[in-house]
Structure 1
Amino acid sequence: MVSYNTKDWFTFIFRFHKADTFRKLIPIMLAIGIYAGSVGYLEVEYWQLSDTNYIKNITIMHGMLGFVISLLLVFRTNTAYDRWWEGRKLWGALVNNSRNFAIKLDVMLKDENDKAFFRKMIPNYASVLHIHLHDSDTGKQLFDNLDLKIDHQKHKPNQVAKLIFEKMNELHLQGKISGDQLIVLNNEFMSFTDICGACERIKNTPIPYSYSAFIKKFVFFYVMTLPFGYAFSLGYYVVPVVVFIFYVLASLELIAEEIEDPFGDDENDLPTRKISENIKRHVEELI
């Protein structure tokens, strides 16, 4: 995740990093600039259309559709951010529940070997969950007509959770923890699987295809029609204007695409590896 000073305006304006949308859009922005210049040349210089030509009124359509496209993009980015923030809350809950689990176990258990087991396995769950969520196959489990390798392997976070519960049950049978203590521990233990399932829901349920495809088509055709109307009033200045409008609209869509899956390897995705390392350090301090 990018570390930055939220109050440093000039850094934001003049600094470009590898996740910046400007870098990704440069090729298509150049193509759109050439397209806009060509349309402006044909209308103003080659065909010499007058200001009274009906094609100039196409700007009325842009005014009406501009409001619609802005609403769609706002909903798109808000939906993507909600997924990102939900992922962050889930991993925050994993941190807190791991700490609570470790605190209770440290008080209840007296045998050092038992403590060593949980000192290792609680952080292991977070580490394995991090690896599981970064597996590309995890994000495709609900796709139709795909024979995924992951379907033929055991669910790794579930295997770690099973080992933890087997140890808890063994300690109960040995009389090292009582039935009441087992119930107290159960809430934190159950939360591990709940968090895993919620993260998988975010990972393998993308924005519906039809909605995402429609926004991209809408932005493309909206921008492609801009030079026809504005070439009369802007002349060749229509080139930077159209390119800038495309940059703004397409950047919003790219940002939404990047953050809607917070468990990937993009620059602004959640630092789950770092969080899992923090869990390991905190658990080792407590047990």
Structure 2
Amino acid sequence: MIIRPGQNWFRMLFVWRGSVLQSIIPQLSFVGALSVLAVFTHGRIFGEKIPLSTAPFTLFGLALAIFLAFRNNASYARFIEARHLWGSLLISARTLTSQVLNYVPNGDSQDDRRIFSSLLIAFVYVLKHQLRRTDPSSDMERLLGKEQARLLNEKNYKPVDILNRLRQVLVALQRDTGYSDMTRWILNEQLVELGKVVGGCERIASTPIPFAYSVLLHRTVYAYCVLLPFGLVDSTELFTPLLCVFIAYTLIALEAIANEVAEPFGLAPNALALDAMARTIERSVLELCEFDVPDELLPGESFQLT
């Protein structure tokens, strides 16, 4: 996720880092070259004049703008839902930790706090790695030890397995301390919420926007940008390349942003900062347990928070 300090209106015009411009320069160069060709040939291909005017592009552009808005809204809805799920994860982790420390007799002992916090934090990191399809081994060994990490690595659904272990820890605490069934029900509700977060994230990760939408939008945008120079050349002449590149920048950039935002758990610059979110949850849980708290993750030189 790109995190930049506030910019004034003039500097915002020239922002490079954090924009999608650097990823679409080849497409814009192609449109610019095609526009220059249209100017030099006066809108002809192989000597034949292409009979296009600005009128159909106005109607076609309006329809394309509506379709782009639909595609961006669908992508952003996935992004917002994913952010809400990770916000719920933070709330449930804090609440569950506080409840165990205060509602369970002897729940604030050093050993119990260490076991519980390690499992809960491991759950967060393992979920992050599952969503990003990255290797969780280093985080699992750091939090659970090599033997437990090896056993967990054999599981297909690692976050669910850790939730099951957390339930086992709470059942063992009830057996040892004799806290009430009502307390167990209260604690289990937070585990249920954590399970809902896992299911919601898996639903987003495993159900992309239908591919046909992406193909249709991609073809339509590029067909519009390729034909546009031949429709404008008679009226705009030498200004055709400038206008066409600007219009192409708007349309192609919107498509690129929609593609990035549609995968909120990915590693694209505009995806969610899962590393920072996981670190925030770890810091919060450890602080409640009165353990040493790691440093907060901050954006790097490229203003990207991973």
TM-score with structure 1 setting the length: 0.86
Contact 1:98 1:279 in 2 (8 A): yes
**Residue segments in structure 1 that go unaligned for 5+ positions in a row:** 138-151
Alpha-carbon distance in structure 2 between the residues aligned to 1:110 and 1:175: 7
Contact 1:94 1:192 in 2 (8 A): yes
Residues 191-245 of structure 1 deviation map (CA, whole Å, 9 limit, x = unaligned): 1111011111111211111111000111111111112221111113211111111
Aligned residue for 1:126? 124
Alpha-carbon distance in structure 1 between the residues aligned to 2:233 and 2:184: 74
Aligned residue for 2:193? 191
Aligned residue for 1:219? 221
Contact 1:109 1:115 in 2 (8 A): no
Say if 2:108 is the partner of 1:109.
Answer: no
**Residue segments in structure 2 that go unaligned for 5+ positions in a row:** 136-153, 290-306
Instruction: Judging by fraction of residues, say which structure has more helix.
Output: 1
Say if 2:42 is the partner of 1:43.
Answer: yes
Aligned residue for 1:258? 260
What is the Cα-based RMSD across aligned positions, in Å?
2.3
Alpha-carbon distance in structure 1 between the residues aligned to 2:207 and 2:74: 13
Q: How does 1:68-217 map to 2 (within 5 A)?
A: 68-107=63-102, 108-111=104-107, 112=109, 113-135=111-133, 153-217=155-219
One-letter amino acid matched to 1:87: A
Query: After the TM superposition, which segments of 4 or more aligned residues of structure 1 sit over 4 Å from their partners?
Result: 44-49
State the Cα distance separating 1:172 from its structure 2 match. 2.5
Contact 2:28 2:248 in 1 (8 A): yes
Residues 43-87 of structure 1 deviation map (CA, whole Å, 9 limit, x = unaligned): 3699999xxx8924x322111111100101111111111111111
State the Cα distance separating 1:175 from its structure 2 match. 4.4
Contact 1:44 1:235 in 2 (8 A): no
The verdict on how the C-alpha distance between 1:181 and 1:236 changes in structure 2, with shifts beyond 3 A counting, is same
Alpha-carbon distance in structure 2 between the residues aligned to 1:228 and 1:45: 8
The verdict on how the C-alpha distance between 1:44 and 1:97 changes in structure 2, with shifts beyond 3 A counting, is closer
The verdict on how the C-alpha distance between 1:14 and 1:201 changes in structure 2, with shifts beyond 3 A counting, is same
The verdict on how the C-alpha distance between 1:208 and 1:166 changes in structure 2, with shifts beyond 3 A counting, is same
Alpha-carbon distance in structure 2 between the residues aligned to 1:126 and 1:20: 30
Other structure's SS at 2:42 match: helix
Residues 147-195 of structure 1 deviation map (CA, whole Å, 9 limit, x = unaligned): xxxxx85211011111101111222333432211110111111111110
The verdict on how the C-alpha distance between 1:44 and 1:179 changes in structure 2, with shifts beyond 3 A counting, is closer
The verdict on how the C-alpha distance between 1:227 and 1:106 changes in structure 2, with shifts beyond 3 A counting, is same
Alpha-carbon distance in structure 2 between the residues aligned to 1:103 and 1:118: 11
TM-score with structure 2 setting the length: 0.81
Aligned residue for 1:66? 61
Alpha-carbon distance in structure 2 between the residues aligned to 1:278 and 1:46: 59
Higher relative contact order (CA 8 A, sep 6+): 1
One-letter amino acid matched to 1:158: V
